[in-house]
Amino acid sequence: METTLRGVGVSHGVAIGEVRHMGTAVLEPPAKQIPSDEAPREQGRARQAVEAVAADLLARGNLAGGEAQAVLEAQAMMAQDPELMADVERRIAVGSTAERAVYDAFAAYRALLAGAGEYLAGRVADLDDVRNRIVARLLGVPMPGVPDSDEPYVLIARDLAPADTALLDPTLVLGFVTEEGGPTSHSAILARALGVPAVVALPGAGELAEGILIAVDGSTGEIFVAPSEEKQAELALAAEERKAALAASSGPGATSDGHKVPLLANIGGPADVPAAVEAGAEGVGLFRTEFLFLDDSTKAPSEEKQFEAYRQVLEAFPEGRVVVRVLDAGADKPLDFLTPADEPNPALGVRGLRTLLDHPDVLRTQLTALAKAAAGLPVYLEVMAPMVADRTDAKAFADACREAGLRAKFGAMVEIPSAALRARSILQEVEFLSLGTNDLAQYTFAADRQVGAVARLQDPWQPALLDLVALSAEAARAEGKSCGVCGEAASDPLLACVLTGLGVTSLSMGAAAIPYVRATLAKHTLAQCERAAAAARAADTAEDARVAAQAVLSGE
């Protein structure tokens, strides 16, 4: 009998296939004691397993490239954490086996993360995956992970570790569904990069029977269990219509009456550029430069290394627009040489621009490298600061840009509610705003973007979030300046129309979403977008906002 479930759709498309469940986690090793003379051998086994797992994660990252590579490199650093390794060796010295020592040391660290504020608590799933991989290697059992199958399937998991998501084979994994996660979790971001339909935050997903047929709509978040042939045909037809609309859509982003809305790509580095170019991106709306800094957490990359990466990206968009976000370190992106290890709540501490203003040499080197990379190119370079709270922050960043001799537009990201509320004041110091809706939602609703239990508050359709977007866009229009969106909200085609109606002047997203957004914008006039935006803001819930906007845009 057909039933319908609803989670959070995070990656467009429809997948119809049989359920396969993620491999089970490694069992807890027995707590047996070893003689003291065996401790050196066990310590050696532990070190070898850690290094092997770190090397495997790095190799997976090199294969995946782009944002996935940065995520996996961060996991490799987690595996090699010297304090964790020292704790493992201490436990072995007092009688634990290598596998038990790893299990217990990671459990202690896990407890620290879980109680260290929601940002770091969101890294627990990544930590568990590293632990499972090390313990599996020590026990000589298969790695937990994606099931072996010769036939295509829909993958079901409690959560997906980045190491698994990064190398999913789209020819076998038709789509995936997770119980945990949110619209801006690592799994969601990597799913969009792969172009695999995905639904997250679906309670009870693990109870779906192995082998049962399901249909996954990554746009609506709906899961159809045991769908009828009629439902399958209906979904397949809708998918074909979407494909046809995408194929017919090309050129710059615009509404049906010619109002231009540049569609830009979010990238993590040069590896992401080919997909952005292929999707027809009109430039880059968010270049996340922190991925350059994750190779070595003990020191910043050299000016020359930064120059080379920036130059590759800038050369790919001749006469296009490239918006670079300077290093956004801290919270869930700690760097040993920059961020304090003992902050009680890193998400509300020294992160983003605050970190850079505390380390002006790091900011100066980055801005100098950007200035040199742009020299002689016709590209329109724009540089923005993360986590700007007020006009004082904006002025400090603009001053640093000028002192570095940077010939570019300077901008501020709106990720903190205070920046949206005082956007006009901030625009006295900078030339544009860019809304990071992921963090703006997180700080507006006190809801961690990695925690599935609060996913409804991370929904970018929340009317309160739309109000803050409208405030920012109105301030920019009053000052004759631009206000874009570079958060994942821009990748929702329907919401892209609403954002346009709110006065947003450009939209930046993962490359895979650009054709969907372009095709949807082209169906509606600016006036329709404005009416849809007003209807969404008048609602009281995210779901009501979505329904109200859809009704306007469908002419109901």
How far, in Å, are 268, 314, 359 from residue 319 at the CA level? 20, 9, 33
SS (H, E, C) 239-269: HHHHHHHHHHCCCCCECCCCCECCEEEEECC
Burial (CB count within 10 angstroms: exposed 0-12, middle 13-18, buried 19+), residue 322: buried
Q: Break the chain down into helix, strand, coil percent, rounded to 5.
A: 50, 15, 35
Beta-bridge partner residues of 11: 198
Cα separation, 423 vs 434, whole angstroms: 11
Q: Which of 401, 483, 486, 529 is catalytic?
A: 486
SS (H, E, C) 496-544: HHHHHHHCCCEEEECHHHHHHHHHHHCCCCHHHHHHHHHHHHCCCCHHH
For the question of residue 259 being annotated catalytic, the response is: no
Integer Rg of the chain from CA? 24
Cα separation, 24 vs 343, whole angstroms: 34
Q: How many helices (H) and strands (E) does the chain have?
A: 23, 16
How far, in Å, are 147, 245, 395, 459, 520 from residue 537 at the CA level? 44, 28, 32, 14, 20
Q: For 304-371, give the DSSP string.
A: HHHHHHHHHHHHTSTTSEEEEE----BTTB--TTTS-TT-S-GGGSS-THHHHHH-HHHHHHHHHHHH
Per-residue burial over 36-56, b = 16 or more CB atoms within 10 Å of its CB, e = otherwise:
eeebeebbebbeebbeebbeb
Helix pair 98-114, 39-64: axis angle to 10 deg = 60
Specify the DSSP class assigned to residue 272. G
Q: Which of 12, 186, 359, 524 is catalytic?
A: 186
Helix pair 98-114, 124-139: axis angle to 10 deg = 180
Residues 6+ apart with CB under 8 A from 496: 261, 490, 507, 517, 520, 521
For the question of residue 483 being annotated catalytic, the response is: no
Q: Which residue has the tokens 């020294």?
A: 350
Cα separation, 80 vs 54, whole angstroms: 7
Would you say 164 and 25 are in contact if contact means Cβ atoms under 8 Å apart?
A: no
Q: State whether the Cα torsion 355-373-482-273 is positive or negative.
A: negative
Would you say 332 and 120 are in contact if contact means Cβ atoms under 8 Å apart?
A: yes
Specify the DSSP class assigned to residue 299. S
Q: Beta strand 213-217 with 222-225: parallel, antiparallel or unpaired?
A: antiparallel
- Positions annotated as catalytic residues are 186, 486
